[in-house]
């Protein structure tokens, strides 16, 4: 079995920790900063974009949850693609995703530096990037159980805070403290009825992280934890994203939307609640840091899986005594360098460049995961289907719909100047990954016996 090559990882994560790793990786800068750019594109209709993204994300969650409950593996969709599609699909899914989350680490750190300007406007952003990068390296070099506990509480802070934002924002709207913006400044569809489609890419970036349940499954205490984690994670994210977006577009004047500060902070400033704005800025800061921490974790596991499958140097497939893939972890910090360079070159646009460059790899992984799920369902007998620990309600049909939605969302980025970099960077990326596959495909896989911790 492909997933057996990943032996040596410590199975210390419970369902709650797995779910919160995914929540921590998802509720981050995509919602708390990128939503400002999405509002610029679609106005109040961006709430429709988030509904569409949630439906697509649901198909991915169920497909990956079903596969992970049968084949728990850190390589997740890459392992499933290699098993049910072909080795090329497994290679490009894992490397594309590894590049995506590695770059996304830089995006979260740039966002953190942006948030800290609220209190320290004269401190250069690169100071914060380097400082936080060092802290997260130390956290991820520890045993996975320690990481899971740290990320659980880190993610819990922002989850509770965003839920409070929904309650407070709804009270502001219902109590007449602010004028509802749903039909102001051009109506609900200020840029036309097609505008929600062009903002779906931002919404999908917000949902990137749901696949972390499948990646964490390789370190789950038992397979029974995986279905619970999948359902818990998606339920939390759906409530948070849809609720927060509806409140946000109702309170935030579109002219003040952007990425110079979190729109969630702007909302409280607009409402004349300055103390709350400071508290919310702290929350979005912890959200960005939690996202960076979770992304470093999954990037290291993905590179570890590639090494164990023979697609990366064997050294990257070795484990330390505490079960941490330290070499893979250190190599996966390349996104931090990207953050430093872009923060220096284009400080005003660094965040958007990073997240939209990383979007293609994430969507590529989702598309291949859905295709692998379709092939997986085709290979099952009726008896095997009935015995699945977690079953996708829509089966292969839902995965077909999700696959069509992912492709449509990625293609739509071409018609929006702010998002075109997704395809401009993504198509050459796929070509280079395909070339790399043909160059390394005959490398013999690393063996589990090389673990230094066994």
pLDDT, residue 16, reads: 61
CATH number at residue 14: 1.20.1740.10
Which domain covers residue 390, as residue numbers?
A: 2-450
pLDDT, residue 405, reads: 93
pLDDT, residue 236, reads: 79
pLDDT, residue 454, reads: 39
pLDDT, residue 449, reads: 41
Q: Indicate the number of domains in the chain.
A: 1
pLDDT, residue 448, reads: 43
User: For residue 401, what are the contacts with CB-CB under 8 A and spacing of at least 6?
Assistant: 59, 394
Q: What is the pTM of this model?
A: 0.78
pLDDT, residue 404, reads: 95
pLDDT, residue 375, reads: 94
Question: How many Cβ atoms sit within 10 Å of the Cβ of residue 106?
Answer: 31
Reading the chain (454 residues) residue by residue, the pLDDT tens digits are 444 454 545 555 666 666 666 666 666 655 655 677 777 788 888 889 889 988 998 899 888 888 887 877 666 778 889 889 998 998 898 888 888 888 778 777 877 887 888 888 888 877 888 888 787 777 777 665 566 676 677 777 777 877 887 888 888 788 777 777 777 777 788 878 888 888 888 788 778 777 776 666 656 666 666 777 777 777 878 888 888 888 888 877 766 665 556 677 777 776 666 677 777 778 778 777 777 777 887 888 888 878 887 888 888 888 777 777 888 888 887 767 766 676 666 666 666 666 677 788 889 989 999 999 999 999 888 888 888 877 888 889 999 999 999 999 889 888 877 778 888 888 888 999 999 888 876 555 544 444 444 3
pLDDT, residue 97, reads: 86
Question: How many Cβ atoms sit within 10 Å of the Cβ of residue 417?
Answer: 9
pLDDT, residue 286, reads: 79
pLDDT, residue 452, reads: 41
User: In angstroms, what CA-CA distances link 213 with 297, 301, 451?
Assistant: 12, 12, 24
């Amino acid at each position: 079995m492909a997933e057996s090559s990943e032996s040596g990882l410590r199975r210390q994560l419970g369902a709650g920790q797995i779910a919160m790793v995914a929540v921590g990786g998802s509720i981050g800068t995509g919602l708390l900063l990128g939503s400002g750019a999405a509002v610029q594109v679609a106005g109040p209709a961006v709430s429709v974009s988030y509904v569409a993204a949630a439906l697509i994300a649901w198909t991915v969650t169920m497909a990956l949850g079903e596969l992970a409950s049968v084949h728990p593996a850190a390589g997740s969709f890459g392992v499933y693609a290699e098993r049910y599609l072909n080795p090329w699909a497994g290679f490009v899914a894992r490397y594309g995703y590894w590049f995506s989350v590695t770059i996304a680490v830089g995006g979260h750190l740039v966002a953190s530096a942006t948030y800290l300007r609220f209190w320290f406007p004269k401190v250069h952003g690169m100071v914060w990037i380097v400082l936080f990068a060092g802290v997260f390296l130390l956290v991820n070099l520890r045993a996975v159980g320690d990481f899971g506990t740290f990320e659980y509480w880190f993610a819990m802070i922002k989850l509770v805070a965003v839920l409070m934002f929904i309650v407070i924002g709804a009270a502001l709207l219902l109590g007449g403290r602010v004028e509802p913006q749903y039909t102001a400044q051009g109506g609900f569809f200020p840029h036309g009825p097609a505008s929600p489609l062009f903002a779906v890419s931002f919404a999908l970036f917000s949902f990137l992280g749901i696949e972390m349940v499948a990646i964490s499954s390789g370190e789950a205490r038992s397979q029974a934890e995986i279905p619970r984690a999948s359902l818990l994670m998606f339920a939390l994210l759906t409530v948070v994203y849809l609720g927060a977006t509806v409140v946000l577009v109702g309170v935030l004047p579109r002219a003040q939307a952007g990425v110079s500060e979190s729109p969630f902070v702007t909302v409280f400033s607009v409402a004349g609640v300055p103390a709350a704005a400071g508290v919310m800025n702290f929350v979005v800061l912890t959200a960005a840091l939690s996202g960076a921490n979770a992304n470093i974790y999954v990037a290291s596991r993905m590179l570890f899986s590639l090494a164990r499958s023979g697609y990366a140097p064997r050294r990257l497939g070795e484990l330390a005594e505490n079960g941490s893939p330290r070499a893979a972890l250190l190599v996966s910090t390349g996104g931090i360098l990207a953050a430093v360079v872009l923060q220096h070159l284009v400080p005003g646009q660094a965040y958007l460049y990073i997240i939209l460059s990383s979007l293609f790899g994430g969507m590529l992984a989702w598309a291949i995961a859905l295709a692998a799920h379709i092939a997986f369902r085709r290979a099952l007998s009726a008896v095997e289907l009935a015995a699945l620990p977690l079953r996708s309600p829509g089966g292969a049909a839902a995965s077909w719909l999700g696959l069509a939605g992912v492709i449509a969302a990625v293609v739509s980025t071409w018609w929006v100047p702010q998002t075109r970099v997704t395809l401009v960077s993504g198509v050459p990326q796929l070509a280079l990954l395909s070339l790399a596959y043909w160059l390394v495909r005959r490398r013999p896989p690393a063996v589990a016996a090389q673990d230094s911790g066994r």
